[in-house]
Structure 1
Amino acid sequence: MTDHEGDTARHRRPLRADAQRNEDKLLEAAATAFAREGAGASVKDIARAAGVGVGTLYRRFPSKELLIEAVYRQEVQRLCEAAPHLTATLPPRDALRTWMEHFIDFMTAKQGMADALAVVLTDDNEKLHTRALLADAIAHLLAPGTGTSVTRPGVDAQDVLMALGGISLMAAGEQQRDLATRLIDLLLHGVVTG
């Protein structure tokens, strides 16, 4: 991918409503395909699953790397945007647990794209920025529990993020999604009081 392609991927003008719907469908289908098949997923199959032609996919994402990068960015954004919604609709412990499960699902999809992401996301500042966004989401989830003595004092959002990253790696290595859920339960015992 050239610098120009990366700039194009990040600085696009707003889309018409129908084009935005097509892009959303493409990103959704791509996220599913990459989680299931890894970066080798067929772009033709992704376009078909999204209900659009492969030409539409390539007009929006001229390379598979740009599609993978867009999926990754969208999934990070969704994960971060979920935190305020969860804290507004669930008790603190349940909101945190639900977000942790979403995080593991995100990491599973990311691991399916790991080889391609290693090529696309080479900027350390970008990685640090993503980590900061995710830690901010966790801090947002911890805050209501701190105010009600549900969250243990001194719990650091970065530490929780690193623990979740470790859980996702262990569960992926064992290829056991249920292991991640059990480990999340153990992590929650260290984060919340009840």
Structure 2
Amino acid sequence: MSSPRRADAVRNRALALEAATALLSEPGATLTVEAIAARSGLGAGTVVRAFGGKDALIDAAVAALLAPVVARAGELAASKAPGEALRAFLAELMDFQAAHHGLSAGLDGLDLPGTTARRADLEAAVGDLIARAQRDGELRDDLPVGALTVLIGRTAFAVARDGSPELSAAYLTVLFAGLSPVHGR
């Protein structure tokens, strides 16, 4: 008798996670247990039980959204020259941030260990791309990787919130001109 219940629990968890992830990708969508339940076709109590609480559900959904972004940094690092990989990744990251800019506001005050871990992975991936570009002589090396990671990340996020592809492209042009070794000295 426990097998069907276990299969239902697994299915319910997958449906709730899929619904939460879809809502996170919709501009202006409200991420509540009720909205997730309506999207998934489950009851609100079932949604909460599937994860043990709203925070755990949101954490799983946000971490699932960030995981492929982090993986993409590794793919680009393995397939492109360091400076090209960094520029391509930042452009893709800004597109992702523009599509999900409302996400951060809804996460304040929640207990999100999985999301915190994926954000740390993302920061480490950007730091690695920066360090590789510095070692390759494509970025000035007189600024510490950690400072550049924070500066680039926060500025890119602010520009991405505008949602303008032209502004994002201009930001990357100015950023890489300012970080070129020629301008650094």
Instruction: Tell me if TM exceeds 0.5.
Output: yes
The 1:136–1:154 alpha-carbon spacing in structure 2 relative to 1, beyond 3 Å, is farther
Q: Which amino acid aligns with 2:129?
A: L
The 1:99–1:46 alpha-carbon spacing in structure 2 relative to 1, beyond 3 Å, is farther
The 1:190–1:45 alpha-carbon spacing in structure 2 relative to 1, beyond 3 Å, is farther
Instruction: Give the corresponding residue for 1:160.
Output: 149
Unaligned runs of at least 5 residues, structure 1: 1-14, 48-52
1:37 partnered with 2:30: no
- Per-residue Cα deviation, 1:45-70 (whole angstroms, up to 9, x for no partner): 642xxxxx425755533544433222
2:17 and 2:179 map into 1 onto residues whose CA distance is: 34
Unaligned runs of at least 5 residues, structure 2: 1-5
Instruction: Give the corresponding residue for 1:74.
Output: 64
Q: Which amino acid aligns with 1:147?
A: R
Instruction: Give the corresponding residue for 2:85.
Output: 95
| Residue pairs, 1:96-135, within 5 angstroms | 96-108=86-98, 110-121=100-111, 132-135=120-123
Contact persistence 2:69–2:93 (CA under 8 A)? yes
SS of corresponding position for 1:40? coil
The 1:84–1:45 alpha-carbon spacing in structure 2 relative to 1, beyond 3 Å, is same
Instruction: Give the corresponding residue for 1:6.
Output: none
1:28 and 1:157 map into 2 onto residues whose CA distance is: 36
Q: Which amino acid aligns with 1:162?
A: L
SS of corresponding position for 1:182? helix
The 1:154–1:131 alpha-carbon spacing in structure 2 relative to 1, beyond 3 Å, is farther
The alignment-based identity, stated in percent, is 23
Instruction: Give the corresponding residue for 2:174.
Output: 186
- Per-residue Cα deviation, 1:24-83 (whole angstroms, up to 9, x for no partner): x76465334323234505314642xxxxx4257555335444332222223343333322
C-alpha RMSD over aligned residues: 3.7
Q: Which amino acid aligns with 2:149?
A: V
SS of corresponding position for 2:77? helix
- Per-residue Cα deviation, 1:132-189 (whole angstroms, up to 9, x for no partner): 43332122212332333222223433323333322322442x4434422321222122
Decide which structure has the larger Cα Rg and report it. 2
